[in-house]
Amino acid sequence: MPTLFRTITMPRDLSEKDIAILKKLAPECGDLTCSGSGHSFHSILPPVSNHFSEDSNDFIGRISRLSNEELTYITDMILKGEESMGCLPVEDVEALVHLLHDRLSPEHAKKVIDAYESGSSCEH
């Protein structure tokens, strides 16, 4: 029987670990506020994809900087419903899935695909 994951992303305050990962992916990130909405960031991947990456190649380059431990952490947060992918362009989701497949395992990639496909759309 397949494992069920909580796929509805809940707003969260970024932890120190989240902020460190966000700063690693987007060193130019001056503060943790979305310039479009004025709200604080509640996830790591959407601001990197939508605010700091110039295109999907830039996004791939940025997420490739992550260690396997950091990739596992982000994957775990996605599967718990605490890291949003609903706002990511499909090509950025695909890049993340390929990276997870190559660096962690095909199982990690499959779980993230399942979470993405059953998740909610962009709400934050």
User: Is residue 23 a contact partner of residue 29, using CB atoms and an 8 Å limit?
Assistant: yes
Q: What's the number of domains the chain is made of?
A: 1
pLDDT tens digits, 1-32: 344 333 444 567 888 999 899 999 988 876 65
Prediction pTM value: 0.81
Distance CA 105, CA 101 (A): 5
Residue 58 lies in a domain: yes
Q: At what angle do helices 106-118 and 68-80 cross, to 10 degrees?
A: 30
CB 112 within 8 Å of CB 78:
yes
Answer whether residue 32 is part of any domain.
Answer: yes
Domain residues for 77?
16-118
Angle at 76 between CA 74 and CA 82, to 5 degrees: 80
Query: Per-residue pLDDT tens for 46-66?
Result: 989 988 999 999 999 999 999
